[in-house]
């Protein structure tokens, strides 16, 4: 569902991502982790068609995001770490706008379900400028789901959410994957990645240190046992411990 082949992104003399290759099949949840400046957001923004790659191919649901951006974007949704909503529109008007943009017919019943799911029913007619940070995040996620995207990209999705909102979002991500969507979750919260993700991509300075199943990551780095946490795996990878089977993409 997602294919990234030899992706490079440079800004003048700065190389943000170098030679990145990975794929995410339908039904998989990929955890994208790495220190600040590793290239995580740059990769997500390129997949979403917001910034062009310097080199390489990025395929979303069978469509090249550069050669056929409109068709590719019909199949994806991107929730950035600080979603930019329309301050003067109400929550419901956001649904109306998304439904119009993606040509979603009969969206009302689905939108009502999302209002209830994300505890937004009482905020239905509230303009987004008056919403809390967590409420705005919920609106952004609900809007992302409205057109049933086959690919969903999340950048730090838990920002501002209360415990109930975190549980609801995690449940919704698992349900989306179970329904056949390919999901990418970029987060510094390694416990979230460990809870949700079937696969793992560790980046440092724009290059992959590890790409593969979460279940195999523990055995790839040094003497870590199967009870090792993802945090231990992450720091072991960053420390440059050898991976017996290559450990790369």
Report how far apart, in Å, the C-alpha atoms of 92 and of each of 33, 123, 146, 201 are.
34, 9, 12, 36
| 8-61: pLDDT as tens digits | 999 988 899 999 999 999 999 999 999 999 999 999 999 999 999 999 999 999
Model's pTM, two decimal places?
0.91
| 231-240: pLDDT as tens digits | 888 888 888 6
pLDDT tens for the chain, residues 1 to 249: 999 999 999 998 889 999 999 999 999 999 999 999 999 999 999 999 999 999 999 999 999 999 999 999 999 999 998 889 999 999 999 999 999 999 999 999 999 999 999 999 999 999 999 999 999 999 999 999 999 999 999 999 998 999 999 999 999 999 999 999 999 999 999 989 989 999 999 999 999 999 999 888 877 775 556 667 888 888 888 886 544 343 443
Report yes or no: 34 and 203 within 8 Å, Cβ to Cβ. Answer: yes
What is the domain partition of the chain in residue ranges?
A: 1-75+149-249, 83-148
Cα–Cα distance for residue pair 216/132, rounded to 1 Å: 40
Q: Give CB contacts under 8 A, 24+ apart, made by 115-124.
A: 115/91, 115/142, 117/142, 117/168, 117/172, 118/142, 118/165, 118/168, 119/164, 119/165, 119/168, 120/91, 123/91, 124/90, 124/91, 124/92
Assigned CATH class of 1-75+149-249: alpha beta
Report yes or no: 199 and 30 within 8 Å, Cβ to Cβ. Answer: yes
Q: How far is CA 47 from the centre of its chain?
A: 10
Which residues are 2's β-sheet partners?
24, 60
Identify the pLDDT of residue 249: 38
Report yes or no: 89 and 123 within 8 Å, Cβ to Cβ. Answer: no
């Amino acid at each position: 569902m997602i294919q990234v082949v030899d992706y490079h992104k440079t800004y003048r003399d700065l190389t943000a991502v170098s030679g990145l290759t990975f794929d995410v099949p339908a039904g998989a949840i990929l955890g994208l982790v790495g220190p600040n400046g590793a290239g995580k957001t740059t990769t997500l923004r390129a997949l979403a068609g917001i910034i062009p790659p310097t080199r390489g191919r990025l395929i979303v649901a069978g469509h090249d995001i550069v050669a056929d951006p409109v068709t590719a974007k019909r199949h994806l949704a991107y929730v950035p770490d600080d979603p930019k909503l329309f301050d003067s529109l109400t929550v419901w008007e956001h649904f109306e706008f998304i439904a119009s943009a993606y040509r979603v017919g009969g969206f009302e019943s689905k939108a009502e379900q999302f209002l209830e799911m994300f505890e937004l029913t009482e905020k239905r007619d509230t303009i987004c400028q008056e919403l809390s940070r967590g409420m705005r995040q919920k609106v952004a996620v609900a809007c992302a789901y409205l057109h049933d995207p086959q690919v969903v990209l999340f950048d730090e999705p838990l920002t501002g959410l209360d415990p109930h909102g975190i549980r609801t979002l995690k449940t919704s991500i698992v349900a989306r994957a179970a329904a056949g969507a390919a999901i990418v979750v970029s987060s510094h919260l390694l416990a979230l990645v460990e809870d949700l993700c079937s696969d793992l991509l560790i980046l440092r300075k724009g290059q992959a240190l590890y790409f593969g199943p979460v279940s195999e990551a523990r055995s790839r780095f040094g003497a870590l046992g199967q009870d090792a946490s993802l945090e231990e795996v992450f720091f072991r990878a960053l420390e440059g411990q050898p991976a017996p089977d290559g450990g790369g993409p």
